[in-house]
Amino acid sequence: MMQKITPFLWFNSEAEEAARLYTSVFTNSRIVKVVRYGEAGEEVHGGTPGSVMTVEFELEGQRFTALNGGPLFKFNESISFVVDCADQVEVDHFWSKLSEGGDASAQQCGWLKDKFGVSWQIVPRALVELLSDKDAERAGRVMNAMLKMKKIDIAGLKAAYERAAGSR
């Protein structure tokens, strides 16, 4: 059954490679279907007959479609995928796998770009819980700590949360 809304990702020529990477990183994932370019419309789409046109894949129950559409469009940070992480082990796993070959150095606050230029936010649940605290001072200390981090460090967030007012 097709879901009502499916994220559609435009790659130059790496759709299948990206889908294989993403399905290797997330446990409950699979490649659903690969569609190849045919000879029909070749003068318009420019795809080589027999090469991969689209890859439909699923990550943790969410369907995606990846297209090999050529170099016309590039990914940017205006769209990103948030990965909910239960603990630091999950944060470390997703950060390591998704940033490999990409650019995690220029990002902050749990954001990274994978090797295809797709932006991801690797977010531990603890961050949301601590930022939602009714004590504005504690939540503010957590926010200030997070703003200095690239990959989110839950122990660092909790230390900022627990720190007494006026101490560093």
Each residue of 114-126: pLDDT tens digit? 999 999 999 999 9
* 2: helix, strand or coil: coil
Give the distance, in angstroms, between the CA of residue 116 and the centroid of all CA atoms in the same chain.
11
* 159: helix, strand or coil: helix
In whole angstroms, give the CA distance from residue 21 to residue 18.
Answer: 5
Q: Indicate the residue among 37, 56, 71 that finishes a domain.
A: 71
Are 84 and 58 in a shared domain?
A: no
- Give the DSSP letter of residue 13: S
pLDDT of residue 105 exceeding 80, the answer is no
- Here the CATH number for the domain that contains residue 148 is 3.10.180.10
pLDDT band of residue 147 (cuts 50, 70, 90) is: very high
* Domain count within the chain: 2
In whole angstroms, give the CA distance from residue 97 to residue 114.
Answer: 9
pLDDT band of residue 158 (cuts 50, 70, 90) is: very high
How large is the average pLDDT for residues 85-110? 92
Are 144 and 99 in a shared domain?
A: yes
Are 124 and 86 in a shared domain?
A: yes
User: Each residue of 37-77: pLDDT tens digit?
Assistant: 988 877 777 788 899 999 999 999 999 999 999 999 999 98
Structural domain including 147 reads: 75-168
Are 45 and 92 in a shared domain?
A: no
In whole angstroms, give the CA distance from residue 149 to residue 28.
Answer: 29
Are 130 and 143 in a shared domain?
A: yes
How large is the average pLDDT for residues 85-113? 92
Are 94 and 110 in a shared domain?
A: yes
In whole angstroms, give the CA distance from residue 38 to residue 57.
Answer: 21
Contact 67, 13 (CB under 8 A): no
Are 45 and 113 in a shared domain?
A: no
Q: Indicate the residue among 15, 43, 71 that finishes a domain.
A: 71
Would you state the torsion angle of the CA atoms of residues 108, 114, 120, 124, taken in this order, to the nearest 10 degrees? -70
Q: What is the pLDDT of residue 47?
A: 80
Q: Indicate the residue among 43, 71, 99 that finishes a domain.
A: 71
pTM higher than 0.85, yes or no? yes
- What is the β-pairing status of strands 62-68 and 8-11? parallel
Q: Give me the chain's average pLDDT, please.
A: 93
Are 59 and 100 in a shared domain?
A: no
Are 104 and 164 in a shared domain?
A: yes
Are 90 and 60 in a shared domain?
A: no
* 35: helix, strand or coil: strand
Are 2 and 53 in a shared domain?
A: yes
